[in-house]
Amino acid sequence: MNTHESLPTLGGVNMNDDFIPLSVPFLGGNESRYVQECIETNWVSSVGDFVNRFEDMVARYVGCSHAVATVNGTAALHIALIVAGVGQDDEVIVPTLTFIAPASAIRYVGAWPVFVDVEPVYFQLDLVKLRAFFEKSCHFEGDNLVNNDSNRRIKAIIPVHILGHPVDMVELNKLARYYNLIVIEDATESLGACCGDIKTGNLSSIACFSFNGNKIITTGGGGMIVTNNGSWAERARYLTTQAKDDPLEYIHNEIGYNYRLTNIQAALGCAQMEQLDHFIATKRQIAARYQEHLGQIEGVTVAGEAPDRFSTFWLYTILIDPTITGITSRQALQSLAAHAVQTRPLWHPLYSLPPFSNCQAIDIVQANHIYERALSIPCSVSLKPSEQMLVIEHIQQLIRTGGLCRKST
C-alpha cells in the first residue's frame, strides 16, 4: 500500500512538477536529527532508546498501558491473533471492505475469515448484519459461539477502522460481550480517531497500528501492538523477538518471529508522533474543504463523520454515482491522472478474491456498491490549499462535462 511503489501502475499518472500525489509522508520535524543520532551512537538495530521511547509515546497517546513495536502492521496483527489465542480452524469476523492484511493474518494462524458487509454511510463493519448473522446462523456450544454453516467456533472479531473513521465500538463491544468473542482492533488506519473520548486502539482487548509510508505517521515501515493486558504484552514482546528464553545460550522454547522494529525506524516514529496532532488537524481541514466544495455536486457523496465519533480523515474518499454523473470512478481516475492528480479506488472486496474463495461471506451488498464508486483523492498533510482547489476544480469540471474534460494546455 505504499503510494510511491504503486505509482507507475496508476493509469499513467502524469508525474511532472505539478504532480499532486494521493498521500505522501511529511518528514519536516526532528526526523533527520533523531536518525542521525542513531547513526552517531551506533544504535541502528532492534534495540535502542528510540524503540522504548516510541512505544511509550504511542501507549500514552492511545491511553493503553503497553505497546510493542513491530516491523509492520501485518506482523502486529499476526502476533495479536496468536496472543489472543486464535488458532487452527477458529473463525474470525472481519469486514470484506478493507486492505487484505487482517484477513491474511487470520490465515497465518490457520483460522478462517468470515466476511461481513459494511454499512453504506461510513463504510465500516455493518453491525446490524453481524447481529443478524449471530442470531440466525450461529448457536452456542457451552460458552463457544459456533457457526451453523461450518460447524467451526467463532473466536474473535477484527473491526477495521478504515480510512481513519472509527467503527461503532460501543455497539460492537456489546455484541462481542454477549457472544463471548474477543475483539482485536485493526486500528492501522486510525491513529488518533476516537469513539466518544476513547482513542481507537484502546477500545478492545488488543489492537494494531501501521506506520507504512502512506499512514498518518510513518516509520518507513512499522507497526505497533497496544493492549492493557500485561501478560499479552509480555508474550507479544517475546514472540516478536524470536522467543528467546536464554539469549546468551540461544535457548528458544517455541517458534518466535523476527518482528521487532529497528531503532532507526523508531527514531522516525518519535519525530512523527511529535507532529501527530498537527497532522490530524490538517487532515480534518482538508476533509472540510472537500465537503464544502464537492458536497453539493449531485452524484458525488463526500465522506462524513458519525455522531460521537472523531475521524482523522486519514484517506479522503468520495463516491461517484455513474448513473447521475455520467462517469465511473475509474474514468474519473484516468481523467484526473491526465491532469497529474493521483487518485485511487478502494480495495477489491476480499470475499471475492481467490485466496478466500472457500471462505464464508455474509450478505455482501454495500461493499460491492462502494467498491465500484469509491475514489480516494489527494489528502497529504503537505497538500497546499491551492493544490487542493485545483483537484476540486478538476473534479467539478469532470462531473459538469460527464467525464469529457481534457487537460488544458
Ligand X SMILES: Cc1ncc(COP(=O)(O)O)c(C=O)c1O
Binding site for ligand X (CB under 6 A): 1, 72-74, 98-99, 101-102, 160, 186, 188-189, 210, 212, 223
Minimum CB separation of residue 284 from ligand X in Å reads 19
Contact 344, 23 (CB under 8 A): no
Q: Which is nearer to ligand X, 101 or 114 (CB)?
A: 101
Minimum CB separation of residue 263 from ligand X in Å reads 18
Minimum CB separation of residue 123 from ligand X in Å reads 12
Task: Please tell me what DSSP assigns to residue 120.
Answer: T
Tell me which residue has its CB nearest to ligand X.
73
Cα 4 off chain centre by: 17
Q: Which is nearer to ligand X, 31 or 189 (CB)?
A: 189
Q: How far apart are CA 212 and CA 317, in angstroms?
A: 19
Minimum CB separation of residue 344 from ligand X in Å reads 12
Contact 377, 22 (CB under 8 A): yes
Cα 186 off chain centre by: 7
Minimum CB separation of residue 386 from ligand X in Å reads 29
Contact 112, 357 (CB under 8 A): no
Q: Name every residue whose Cβ is closer than 8 Å to that of residue 310 and which is 6 or more positions away in sequence.
A: 166, 193, 194, 195
Q: Which is nearer to ligand X, 154 or 160 (CB)?
A: 160
Do the bridges between strand 223-227 and strand 206-210 make them parallel or antiparallel, or are there none, so unpaired?
Answer: antiparallel
Q: Which is nearer to ligand X, 123 or 134 (CB)?
A: 123
Contact 377, 290 (CB under 8 A): yes
3-class secondary structure, 36: helix
Minimum CB separation of residue 45 from ligand X in Å reads 19
Minimum CB separation of residue 107 from ligand X in Å reads 14
The alpha carbon dihedral of 181, 126, 92, 70 has a sign of negative
Q: Which is nearer to ligand X, 187 or 399 (CB)?
A: 187
Q: How far apart are CA 28 and CA 39, in angstroms?
A: 19
Q: Which is nearer to ligand X, 72 or 205 (CB)?
A: 72
Q: Which is nearer to ligand X, 78 or 237 (CB)?
A: 78
Alpha helices, H only, 42-123: 49-62, 73-83, 101-108
